Amino acid sequence: MGSKYCVTAVEKAIKILNYLGEHPEATFTEIFTNLDLSKSTTYQTLFTLESYQYVTKTKERKYRLDVGLLPLIKGVTEENRLVKIAAGPLNKLAEETGLTVHLCNITDSFRAICIYKIDGVDFTIKNTGVGRDLSLHTSAAAKVLLAWMDPKELAFYLSTITYTKYTNNTITSPVDYRQELIETKKRGYSIDNCEGNSGAMGIGVPIFDSRGKVLAAISIGAIVTEIPPEQYDLYAEKLKKVSQEITNALAF
């Protein structure tokens, strides 16, 4: 950009972040070469950005953007048309059920985040929040976003998942998880059966656009004893009605 008031170190950091936004998983050499930066400056800048979780280094020693950036877009996200339209119906759902409610979306390659959240009255899911990544193999919302995904795109997402075992119910097999997604789509809603947290469960459904493509996912989170299995269908229907209301409003 160039200005006497610009801070050179900040400009270089922004250049690196913008580059990684366009070139996910770039090597150290690619970054300093293509941006015409010195090795020492690039190393120091990347070290600082990594310390604040703005970038992360993969096992292959490549850099990509990380979760530290996500809370920065919270203010922008809340102005998003989808969030504006969904907020009313989701708040009504939260008031009716007293449960934690999430609105989640796929944002870029291999990432899915929460873009709106309402805390539960008596209990809220602590490890979720606006701008935070979803656990792709455990969360109800992530299962929805993946279950209705184009098969080719889904293959890329599944190839990036590390099937970390969080509880005894966590699905740790790629084959089993793919089957879980098939069953989710057939059922019409997803279930997080205490897979990410031993005391918490979730149910999620998709939000479709007018062409039937999934735009986002909404989910509820609860203490496992709050929603017994025989009531899963009942709560899924509540979620589907909210989803349809949002879809109608978006089309209008």
What is the pLDDT, as a whole number, of residue 136? Answer: 81
Tens-digit pLDDT string for the chain (252 aa): 556 678 889 999 999 998 998 888 899 999 999 999 999 999 999 999 999 888 988 888 999 888 777 666 655 554 478 888 888 899 998 888 888 888 888 765 567 787 878 877 766 665 666 767 778 888 899 899 999 988 888 888 888 888 889 999 988 889 999 999 999 999 999 999 888 888 888 999 999 887 888 888 999 988 888 888 899 999 999 999 999 998 888 877
The full set of domain ranges for the chain reads 8-65, 72-251
Q: Is the pTM of this model over 0.75?
A: no
Q: Identify the CATH class of 8-65.
A: mainly alpha
DSSP string, the chain: ---TTS-HHHHHHHHHHHHHHHSSSEEHHHHHHHTT--HHHHHHHHHHHHHTTSEEE-TTSEEEE-GGGGGGGHHHHTTSHHHHHHHHHHHHHHHHH-SEEEEEEEEETTEEEEEEEE--SS---TT--TTPBP-TTT-HHHHHHHHTS-HHHHHHHHHH------STT----HHHHHHHHHHHHHHTSEEE-SSSSTTEEEEEEEEE-TTS-EEEEEEEEEETTTS-GGGHHHHHHHHHHHHHHHHHHHH-
The CATH code for residues 72-251 is 3.30.450.40
What is the pLDDT, as a whole number, of residue 74? Answer: 56
